[in-house]
């Protein structure tokens, strides 16, 4: 068999190309290493076109077909047969793909390292189990928005996919605690079964035994369980099994309580991103414990957590690396919380305060003066930001907003943050001059320093 010498091999690799948002030409077929179709085109790329092209591109290593939703199993089968070096595939939104195509990918012994199947709604347990059992090199797996995915196949992911660094399972409505590692032994489960319980429907998912694993997921760094029906028990099992998670996304997991945060605090220095939006039952006590235990946190989202008060923000403000903080619709928040951020959150770059009704413009002005590295501020729905002159520094509202939403929209980014700071500085200067000269102060919308 003919082998390339060193010069020919280096020339071959240098000649390989990446193509973005278009199909390769015939001259490019054998040189394409990465084909990335992120955005839909006009006219749209058809399944027939893709089948023809992919059958002639033997050196593909990564392929993204999110911008070609008409892809079918036929094209995926052709890809699995021809692209023997395929390392990554993204079929997000390709809802005509089914288990047939995915199973074909798993039978070809491809060196797959990452697979994204978000929104491929026909995917069911057999293909996900096959991925877990056959793709031994897999480090990234995204399975969001799959209405037919059950705990049965997700248990196989935990059992067999030992190298995974990223798992995303957002908005999979059938996933419960039974999909995740458990800390309960069978004897404890039997003891619970002896207790009298009110009658309720029992499904086959409920009858699954706890998932007891003998190994730990040392490599897992990112876990997204947005809007899954998990309880505190699942979070305890996950943290014990995967003790080095860095990014944990639990937005919309409404059944969680402070006990889940007690478990999360055991991640310690490893945790740097924590998203708890809409986890409404948590309290200040648990947030304070997490902030004190996980001192490397740089991104925290506690939007819509109605029980939290200034106390949580006091503790979060002490995090030395905090760069992004979302406090949307925390209606108990007062100016004192903003003062603590102004004094202590030295690295803060993005802050979301929308619908925190009790905040004043003066408090935010102090924050803008103290935190010069702030790049993004959202203040939609805060009454004090309806003051004239402020809106001209806001980004334009999305076209989908109605009249009331457009009037309340206040999002400041980039140079507009600095512009708002200068505007408020000048207003403060005018106020002081007016007071010194005993002249009534009248707020204005322009940047002039004249008192009249």
Least confident of 37-51, 144-158, 317-331: 37-51
pLDDT score for 445: 66
Backbone dihedral region for residue 34 (phi beyond 0: left; psi -120 to 50: alpha; all else: beta): beta
* Residue 448 clears pLDDT 60, i.e. is over it: yes
Return the number of other C-beta atoms located less than 10 Å from residue 235's C-beta. 24
User: Residue 432 burial by CB count (10 A; 0-12/13-18/19+): exposed, middle or buried?
Assistant: exposed
pLDDT score for 186: 40
* Residue 1 clears pLDDT 50, i.e. is over it: no
* Residue 49 clears pLDDT 50, i.e. is over it: yes
- Per residue in 118-139, pLDDT (tens digit) is 999 999 999 999 999 999 999 9
pLDDT band at 430 (very low <50, low <70, confident <90, very high): confident
pLDDT band at 58 (very low <50, low <70, confident <90, very high): very high
pLDDT band at 4 (very low <50, low <70, confident <90, very high): very low
* Residue 12 clears pLDDT 60, i.e. is over it: no
Least confident of 136-150, 316-330, 434-448: 434-448
pLDDT band at 16 (very low <50, low <70, confident <90, very high): confident
pLDDT score for 346: 95
Q: How many helices (H) and strands (E) does the chain have?
A: 15, 15
**What does the buried/exposed string (b/e) look like for 398-420 if buried means 16 or more CB atoms within 10 Å of the residue's CB?**
eeeeeeeeeebbbbbeeebbeeb
pLDDT score for 426: 86
CB 119 within 8 A of CB 143: no
What are phi and psi for residue 271, nearest 5 degrees? Answer: -75, 125
- Per residue in 302-314, pLDDT (tens digit) is 999 999 999 999 9
Over the Cα atoms of the chain, what is R_g? 27
Tell me the C-alpha distance between 211 and 238, whole Å.
11
Q: To the nearest whole percent, how much of the chain has pLDDT over 70? A: 90
User: Residue 126 burial by CB count (10 A; 0-12/13-18/19+): exposed, middle or buried?
Assistant: middle
CB 330 within 8 A of CB 308: yes
pLDDT score for 188: 45
* Residue 256 clears pLDDT 60, i.e. is over it: yes
From 223, 228, 262, 261, select the one nearest 242 (Cα to Cα): 223
pLDDT score for 442: 64
Report domain 300-452's class: alpha beta
Q: Tell how strand 62-64 and strand 32-36 pair up.
A: parallel
In order of 34, 134, 294, 352, 420, the CA distances from 423 in angstroms are 48, 60, 37, 20, 5
pLDDT score for 190: 45
Tell me the C-alpha distance between 175 and 151, whole Å.
5
Mean of per-residue pLDDT scores for the chain:
90
CB 164 within 8 A of CB 139: yes
* Residue 377 clears pLDDT 80, i.e. is over it: yes
- Per residue in 183-238, pLDDT (tens digit) is 875 444 444 445 555 565 677 777 888 888 889 999 999 999 999 999 999 999 99
List the domain boundaries for the chain: 12-112, 300-452
């Amino acid at each position: 068999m003919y082998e390339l010498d060193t010069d020919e091999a280096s020339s071959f690799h240098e000649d390989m190309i990446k193509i973005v948002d278009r199909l390769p030409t015939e001259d490019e077929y054998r040189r394409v290493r990465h084909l990335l179709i992120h955005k839909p085109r006009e006219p749209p790329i058809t399944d027939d076109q893709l089948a023809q092209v992919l059958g002639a591109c033997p050196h593909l290593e990564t392929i993204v077909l999110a911008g070609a939703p008409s892809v079918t199993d036929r094209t995926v089968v052709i890809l699995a047969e021809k692209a023997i070096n395929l390392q990554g595939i993204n079929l997000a939104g390709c809802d005509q793909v089914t288990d047939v195509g995915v199973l074909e990918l798993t039978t070809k012994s491809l060196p797959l390292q990452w697979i994204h199947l978000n929104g491929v709604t026909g995917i069911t347990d057999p293909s996900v189990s096959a991925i877990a059992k056959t793709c031994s090199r897999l480090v990234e797996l995204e399975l969001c928005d799959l209405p037919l995915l059950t705990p049965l196949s997700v248990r196989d992911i935990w059992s067999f996919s030992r190298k995974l660094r990223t798992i995303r399972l957002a908005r999979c409505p059938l996933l419960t605690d039974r999909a995740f590692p458990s800390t309960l032994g069978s004897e404890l489960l039997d003891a619970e079964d002896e207790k009298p319980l009110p009658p309720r429907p029992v499904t086959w998912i409920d009858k699954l035994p706890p998932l007891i694993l003998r190994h730990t997921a040392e490599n897992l760094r990112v876990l997204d369980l947005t809007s899954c029906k998990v309880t505190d028990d699942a979070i305890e099992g996950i943290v014990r099994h995967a003790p080095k998670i860095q990014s944990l996304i639990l937005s919309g997991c409404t059944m969680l309580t402070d006990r889940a945060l007690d478990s999360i605090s055991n991640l310690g220095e490893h945790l740097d991103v924590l998203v708890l939006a809409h986890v409404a039952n948590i309290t200040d006590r648990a947030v304070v414990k997490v902030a004190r235990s996980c001192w490397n946190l740089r991104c925290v989202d506690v939007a819509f957590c109605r029980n939290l008060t200034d106390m949580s923000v006091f503790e979060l403000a002490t995090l030395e690396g905090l760069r992004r903080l979302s406090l949307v619709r925390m209606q108990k928040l007062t100016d004192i919380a903003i003062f603590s951020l102004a004094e202590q959150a030295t690295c803060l770059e993005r802050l979301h305060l929308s619908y925190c009704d009790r905040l004043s413009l003066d408090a935010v002005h102090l924050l803008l003066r103290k935190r010069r590295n702030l790049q993004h501020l959202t203040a939609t729905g805060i009454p004090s930001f309806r003051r004239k002159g402020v809106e001209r520094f806001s980004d334009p509202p999305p076209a989908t907003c109605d009249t009331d939403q457009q009037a309340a929209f206040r999002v400041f980014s980039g140079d507009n943050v600095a512009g708002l700071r200068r505007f408020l500085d000048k207003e403060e200067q005018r106020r002081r001059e007016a007071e010194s000269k005993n002249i009534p102060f009248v707020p204005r919308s322009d940047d002039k320093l004249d008192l009249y």
